[in-house]
Structure 1
């Protein structure tokens, strides 16, 4: 109904106008941006609901992460947030739960082998945690070529190391190998490999293996602490993201950019969720269908669509969803998923703009 967005916008305008100040140089999301944030999130979720039978595991993972973020934001900040904002977030949380439930069934039926190895990532309970708001050091931007130089964490290694957090076959829960820990904490990774180093920690924390991660960190001289390592990774990720922004967001790197914002934002580093970046992410969405599709003139690696290739979160066979009349307008499961995770990061930034955040002591 037409009056609901207007009322929500008015409510947010009052709340945002009275928000607490982060710092003189740290811009806040405007009331209009807050409205666009929730509208874009709803459009993407409705699109996925209509196309749940075409979702792959990537798509469902993005939905579950967003669902977990909203769940924890409502629990931590809900009593102090504007009522209409809470109602909208509750609506989106329920919608995400429905999409996640239906999409999980689709993933189990369409990709049974992969589902048998990675279904734990789609468990909503895995994402029911919130890390304190933290900050990373702002590094200089880098050059475009260096971003894609060391994107070399293999698909098999990534999936194997994530699986170590779970109990399966004779493997005990949280039995993390030093080999995986060292590989997933190497300092020379870039691009998607770098965001997956953050994903490694997020999954480990969600699986309640944080004590084991802390013990392993204490045994490695190059890992000061889990918190320090995540801050170090997100500082590098932010440097790459600002490099992409400085180069006007190359079409082939927008998927990566949204994953960068999403992963570090969910990890508590909401400084990466810059308000001006939200505007760009929203413009990449099809405003009618709600999907995130192939950009006009964008080049793709054909191997990304090879159904016989063992895949990971960036390269596994993409799921084409019905987002337009032509193949050029086909929607991508992974791209829409990372967009949802990025939007979830902005939702956290908005909530913490209105309510003092949960922060680590200096």
Structure 2
């Protein structure tokens, strides 16, 4: 696999032969960066035009781009590189601002049309929430990969109810960070796959970012679990294994939404194994050439089977927009592509420090 090798805050000693396996030279990586920024700009412009029709999940994507680009721009300022052209940096800054503008424009419509949902988990689409800054890293080779199984392990309503416990907006308690044993057990259990697994990663990210880390740590210790960082690595490594399966199967359309969501959520945590040119090119190819959105089968409007055979219908149904465009698929594409910008940029910076 061709990795976008990145730099950490310190100096990493990485062989020239590994770097050469990513792209042939800095011009190639700059071309990939430009293509990725083109795709992001196209999708953000589409959301800008459609902002009265966006749902809450769509704005998670624009907030991710806004927050993650802010983090990236701070790093570029602290570690300037002549290999990244000034116009490219200016473009990243402009896209960060436009993503923030789209988010702000959509908020009043979301609050009006889905007030209960907005009141329950609205904090995750507020400005600044997604300015997470995790170091780039590889998976520990000793982390366990469990046997992949099709099907979901939890209902989406359960995931939302557990998120509401962080915010104090649930039905049982109005106090923030009051985590029930029931939720903690569900959201940290091993062996999940598909969206159930991505919701676990999402859950841990949200809790830590919202300020519930101390309460999460108490639950973690009481249950005699591995540290929370290790749980996140365990979940993301299994998500990476599932992404590999999706890629080997030729990126079936019904799995494309999940594939991009996996890269977005674990990319924010710093896991770079999700980011390869062999995976970027398909994501770019799925974008609608006329409108800039992402289209496809209505995965969220279809029935989903729990592993016990029970049919459920996902609560947050995908919202179709004009021209067959899909809200959720477009937003996970935005979030994933935003992470590709991070890793390509970091690779270019690292490349400039390695002897030629």
**TM-score of the aligned structures, taking structure 2 as reference length:** 0.82
Partner of residue 133, structure 1: 136
Partner of residue 27, structure 1: 22
Q: CA deviation at 1:201?
A: 1.2
Tell me, yes or no, if structure 1 residue 347 matches structure 2 residue 349.
no
Question: In 2, Cα distance between the equivalents of 1:67 and 1:92?
Answer: 8
Partner of residue 12, structure 1: none
Partner of residue 200, structure 1: 203
Tell me, yes or no, if structure 1 residue 162 matches structure 2 residue 158.
no
**TM-score of the aligned structures, taking structure 1 as reference length:** 0.81
Cα distance per residue 1:186-208 (max 9 Å; x no partner): 10210011111110111112102
259-268 or 165-174: which moved more?
165-174
Partner of residue 320, structure 2: 320
Report if the CA contact (8 A) 1:262-1:341 is conserved. Answer: yes
* Aligned counterpart for 2:286 among listed residues 275, 284, 287: 284
- How big is the alpha-carbon RMSD for the aligned residues of Structure 1 and Structure 2? 2.6
Partner of residue 336, structure 1: 330
Question: In 1, Cα distance between the equivalents of 2:144 and 2:250?
Answer: 17
Partner of residue 173, structure 1: 176
Report if the CA contact (8 A) 1:141-1:243 is conserved. Answer: no
Partner of residue 60, structure 2: 61
SS at match of 2:292: coil
Tell me, yes or no, if structure 1 residue 188 matches structure 2 residue 191.
yes
Question: In 2, Cα distance between the equivalents of 1:98 and 1:53?
Answer: 13
Question: In 2, Cα distance between the equivalents of 1:74 and 1:87?
Answer: 9
Cα distance per residue 1:247-301 (max 9 Å; x no partner): 100111101111111111011112211222111100000122110012xxx5757
Question: In 2, Cα distance between the equivalents of 1:93 and 1:299?
Answer: 29
Question: In 1, Cα distance between the equivalents of 2:110 and 2:149?
Answer: 31
Question: In 1, Cα distance between the equivalents of 2:136 and 2:342?
Answer: 10
Report if the CA contact (8 A) 2:61-2:331 is conserved. Answer: yes
Report if the CA contact (8 A) 2:146-2:238 is conserved. Answer: no
Q: CA deviation at 1:320?
A: 1.6
- Structure 1 residues 129 and 311: alpha-carbon distance in aligned structure 2, compared to 1, 3 A threshold: farther
SS at match of 1:164: helix
* Aligned counterpart for 1:225 among listed residues 220, 224, 227: 227
